[in-house]
Amino acid sequence: MKMNPLVLCALLSLPLAACDKKQAPSPSANAVVAVALGDDSSVPKLAPGTAAKCPVIGEDFTVKDSTVQVTYKGKRYAFCCADCQPTFAKDPAKYAKN
């Protein structure tokens, strides 16, 4: 059975297109988080080489120059990867306990 190349291309691209779709947080949720979550310059950043634990997944890691860091209620939090920061931002009170 021969398949139209255009149909074949469309079918093969469906899974790829679906992977990049992420649900955006609601604007009201961002407004609430923005008050308490940010990058307070009065709280010193963790220095490269510092041992840390990711508050989202609990993984031990070493802080690098490229490590994503934020402050929440006067405390600095560092993440093992950039993907953990948005998760933390959705419910910082939950992850700040870790």
Dump pLDDT digits (tens) for 82-95.
999 999 999 999 99
Q: What is the mean pLDDT of residues 20-37?
A: 47
Concatenating the DSSP letter of every residue in the chain gives ----HHHHHHHHHHHHHHHT--PPPPHHHHHHHHHHEE--TTSPPPPTT-EEE-TTT--EEE--TT--EEEETTEEEE-SSTTHHHHHHHSHHHHHT-
Dump pLDDT digits (tens) for 42-69.
999 999 999 999 999 999 999 999 999 9
For residue 72, list its beta bridge partners.
37, 75
Alpha-carbon span 85 to 97, nearest angstrom: 15
The pLDDT of residue 25 is 46
| Assessment of whether the complete model's pTM goes beyond 0.85 | no
Query: What residue ranges do the domains of the chain occupy?
Result: 26-96
